[in-house]
Structure 1
């Protein structure tokens, strides 16, 4: 026989998990991940959801001679910020859902 009491408990657990995930997403949105490269010449600020909030570039890089260096620094900073935000997202979502954080792609599930 099917036990409807267990179903009720499971539904409550799922509802709690949804609320925890919603809260974690809000926290991620407000989290700032700051990456500096090139000795601080390029700074990228990204939130925990992977959205770029700001890019700061030292004025000395803003000339034609430094265009290639600037491009390389931007790519490096954006890639590092992306990796960090995915790590933060995976940790928060694992905590919110009660699932292990080492499940590949967990951050993409939410």
Structure 2
């Protein structure tokens, strides 16, 4: 690998600035496509032994909440399970988003960036 030149150098690891700019633009385009696809990726959690089930998309939109009717009589338990379920759901969504974004950035590693 060639030595990297700094500020004003014409060459960065064998890549011209034009090549790096094209790679950056392609990467941005792919990241935007993945971001758009999150609306179609569903994440689901179940808490309280199935008493509450929450479904959302990876773009952080809740689509459905199913709850056991017995929970309606116990507001405190309902509240606790909803909080636990939403927290678990957000963790799953973030993990999915990170994995999908990592696939894109990993695909650009062979270019020497």
Query: 2:67 matched to 1:57?
Result: yes
**Corresponding residue of 1:29:** 39
Q: Aligned-pair distance for 1:19?
A: 1.4
Query: 2:72 matched to 1:87?
Result: no
Greater share of helix residues, 1 or 2? 1
Scaled by the length of structure 1, what TM-score is found? 0.78
**Corresponding residue of 2:76:** 68
Q: Please, which runs of 5 or more residues in structure 1 have no aligned partner?
A: 100-110
Aligned residue pairs, count: 96
Using the alignment, how far apart are the partners of 2:61 and 2:102 within structure 1?
Answer: 20
Structure number with larger C-alpha Rg: 2
Stretch deviating more after TM superposition (79-88 or 89-98): 89-98
Q: Please, which runs of 5 or more residues in structure 2 have no aligned partner?
A: 1-8, 108-113
Scaled by the length of structure 2, what TM-score is found? 0.76
Using the alignment, how far apart are the partners of 2:106 and 2:38 within structure 1?
Answer: 17
Query: 2:30 matched to 1:16?
Result: no
Q: Secondary structure at the match of 2:49?
A: coil
Q: RCO higher in 1 or 2 (8 Å CA, sep ≥ 6)?
A: 1
